Amino acid sequence: MDPAANLEQKGSRPLGGTEHSWCRAVPGGTGITVLAMLFTKDPGAARLQNALHELQKSHPILRSRITRDNTNTFFFAVSPIPLLQIQSYDISTTSQLLQSLAEGGDPNIGRISPFHRIIEHELNQNPWSDQSETDVLFACVYTLTDSKWVVALRLHTAVCDRTSAVYMLKELLGLVRRRGGGGGGGGGGGVGEEQEKETEEFSLGIEQLIPSGKANKPFWARGVDLLGYTLNALRFANLEFKDVTSPRSSQVIRLQMNQDETDRILMECKVRGIKLCGAIAAAGLIAANCMKHLPDHQWEKYAIITLIDCRKLLDPPLQSHNIGFYHSAIVNTHDIKEGQELWELASRCYASFRDSINANKHFTDMADLHLLMNKAIDNPGLTPHSSLRTSFISVFEDPVIDDQHTQLHQWMGLEDYMGCSSVHGVGPSIAIFDTIHNGRLDFTCVYPSPLHSREQMQELIDTMKRILVGNGGD
């Protein structure tokens, strides 16, 4: 018998509402999460595969498949043993792939690095497109040269939010070090027995862990909010759409700042008592408005989605090693016109977000937002030009902070890494994944192409940087 067909039912469970929404979204192209690592030392496919198997043993959700029963209910069906097989590409095959990507019609793809191109390629590989029973985790090793390799993990977002991806990176590197033996350096090494015991349970979905009473909303209030979200969505402003008919894919632009620029921006946030997410969102709105060259008196309404890691807010609270999707979303709208000042708008964006949090909207509106997302998936014509855009920009409440270039990274030859998710189905025009690497801001910005062009989004990102840096403490 095919061992892949022998899925244990013990520990398997139906998907929660948030996870089910991702299962609806991923076939259309939103919710493919990629964690890519660039190495200057051969990571060893066999060693990596063994480490990934250890990771799957510790976290059952990573060795599950998403399947459906005859009532169309989605389940995580857990395999009793890890079944992942790494797909390896030698120099020749990788070179052929990169060449084919260069011939794909994007005139600017030659300006981005092979590492960047592979990330975009992985974001657009969709084994879940037909919603058949499929693993939630895939892994590839690409050999760029005799001294450079890319390791890419591709996951269904229903099992991996940004916190999970960050934890997986750290844990995987530690496990590889342990299996590699020796080496020069510390930095930890994988999951201890106590933590393995903690994580061997199959965690519930976020809806089952919301504290009692926190998600309550009167029936009529829910109806009014749904109507409000729907009517507001019809008035949301967007960047100009370049091509609304061609098949879509996700593309990436990276924005990096130096330490001085980063320090100035973070200091301005601290002085005003706001988080970085407010400044990023405000810079995005101002940049979008500037690109339209509207009359000074004309106002436009933009939507911002802010994603919150709810782990510490749940009952019982979860930790970063509880792998799954435990983020919630807050939608806020802001009216913008020419001449907006960055920090005034950033403070306004953050105040609206905090008011929503204080009103428990990250819990009370969770089901409403999922319903609206599913309605957009089923009826794209309800969105402008059938674009499936639900907001202009999405940001995270807090950045990932990676302030140690550890000896472990040096020992393994880890030169760079990026993590993000696809957005070319339902979603924002631009999704910002922000990290602070060794005191420097690093933004991975994902957008749907050719709905938006690379030139257009590069202009947007460059304008955002000028706004942030130009106002960052002058």
Predicted confidence (pLDDT) per residue in 114-158, tens digit: 999 999 999 999 999 987 789 999 999 999 999 999 999 999 999
What angle (nearest 5°) sits at the alpha carbon of residue 206, between those of residues 19 and 282? 85
Amino acid 227: pLDDT: 58
Question: Under CATH, what is the fold of the domain 3-202?
Answer: Chloramphenicol Acetyltransferase (3.30.559)
Domain 3-202 identical in fold to domain 208-470: yes
Write down the domain spans for the chain.
3-202, 208-470
Residue pair 55/139 in contact by the 8 Å Cβ criterion: no
Residue 451 near residue 241, CB atoms below 8 Å: yes
Q: Which CATH number fits domain 208-470: 3.30.70.270, 3.30.559.30, 2.40.30.10, 3.60.150.10?
A: 3.30.559.30
Q: Report yes or no: 238 and 451 within 8 Å, Cβ to Cβ.
A: no
User: Which whole-number Å values give the CA distances from 394 to 125, 221, 427, in the listed order?
Assistant: 22, 25, 9
* Burial class of residue 97 (count of CB atoms within 10 Å of its CB; 0-12, 13-18, 19+): middle
pTM: 0.91
**The token pair that represents 398 in the structure block:** 């807090």
Reduced to 3 states (helix: H, G, I; strand: E, B; else coil), residue 399 is coil
What pLDDT, on the 0 to 100 scale, is given for residue 181?
45
CA distances from 468 to 269, 284, 301 (A): 11, 10, 21
Of residues 193 and 452, the one with the higher pLDDT is 452
The pLDDT assigned to 69 comes to: 82
Let me know: does 158 contact 26? Beta carbons within 8 Å. Answer: yes
Among 409, 417, 413, smallest CA distance to 44 is for 413
What's the average model confidence in pLDDT over 279-285?
97
Give burial (CB, 10 Å; 0-12/13-18/19+) of 149: buried
Contact yes or no for 212/315 (Cβ under 8 A): yes
What sections of 273-305 are H helices per DSSP?
276-292
How do beta strands 440-449 and 427-437 pair? antiparallel
